[in-house]
Amino acid sequence: MSPTPYLELEGVAAHLGERRVFDNLSLRLNLGEHTVVLGPNGAGKSALVKLISREIYPVVQQGSSLRLFGDRTVNLWQLRQRIGLVSSDLERLYNPAVRANDVVLSGCFGSVGIGRSQNPTPAMGQRVTELMHQLGLLELATERFGQLSEGQRRRLLIARALVHKPDVLVLDEPTNALDLKARHQLLELMRQLSRSGTTLLLVTHQIEAVIPEIARCVMLKAGQLMADGPCDQVLTSSNLSALFETPLQLLQANGYRQVLPG
Q: Which of 68, 50, 69, 87 lies closest to 171 in space, CA to CA?
A: 87
* Per-chain mean pLDDT for the chain: 94
> Which pLDDT score is estimated for 151?
94
H runs (alpha helix) in the chain: 45-53, 76-82, 88-93, 100-106, 122-134, 150-161, 180-194, 231-234, 237-244
Checking if the pLDDT of 75 tops 90, the result is: no
Q: Which residues of 105-132 are buried (b: 16+ CB within 10 A; e: fewer)?
A: bbbbbeeebbeeeeeeeeebeebbbebb
Contact, 215 vs 34, CB < 8 A? Answer: yes
Confidence of residue 55 (pLDDT cuts 50, 70, 90): very high
User: Percentage of the chain with pLDDT > 70?
Assistant: 100
Question: What is 87-106 written as a DSSP string?
Answer: -HHHHHHS-TTSBHHHHHHH
Q: Return d(Cα 167, Cα 222) in angstroms, integer.
A: 29
Q: In this structure, what are the phi and psi dihedrals at residue 212, rounded to the nearest 5 degrees? A: -60, -25
Overall average pLDDT of the 103-126 stretch? 90
**How far, CA to CA in Å, does 17 sit from each of 42, 45, 46, 76, 109?**
13, 14, 12, 21, 27
Confidence of residue 2 (pLDDT cuts 50, 70, 90): confident
> Which pLDDT score is estimated for 88?
87
Contact, 136 vs 152, CB < 8 A? Answer: no
Overall average pLDDT of the 10-24 stretch? 94
Overall average pLDDT of the 20-38 stretch? 97
Overall average pLDDT of the 184-211 stretch? 96
pLDDT tens readout for residues 177-197: 899 999 999 999 999 999 999
Checking if the pLDDT of 1 tops 80, the result is: no
Overall average pLDDT of the 89-118 stretch? 91
User: Percentage of the chain with pLDDT > 90?
Assistant: 87
> Which pLDDT score is estimated for 60?
87
The upper half-sphere exposure of residue 86, i.e. CA atoms within 13 Å in the direction of its Cβ, equals 32
Residues in the chain: 262
99 CB-near residues (< 8 Å, 6+ apart) = 141, 142, 143, 144, 145
| Helix (H) or strand (E) segment spanning residue 23 | strand 19-30
> In angstroms, how far is the first alpha carbon of the chain from the final one?
42
Overall average pLDDT of the 25-37 stretch? 98
Contact, 32 vs 89, CB < 8 A? Answer: no
> Which pLDDT score is estimated for 17?
87
Checking if the pLDDT of 74 tops 90, the result is: no
pLDDT tens readout for residues 122-158: 999 999 999 999 999 999 999 999 999 999 999 999 9
> Which pLDDT score is estimated for 117?
80
Checking if the pLDDT of 200 tops 90, the result is: yes
Burial class (CB in 10 A: 0-12, 13-18, 19+), 254: exposed
Checking if the pLDDT of 118 tops 90, the result is: no
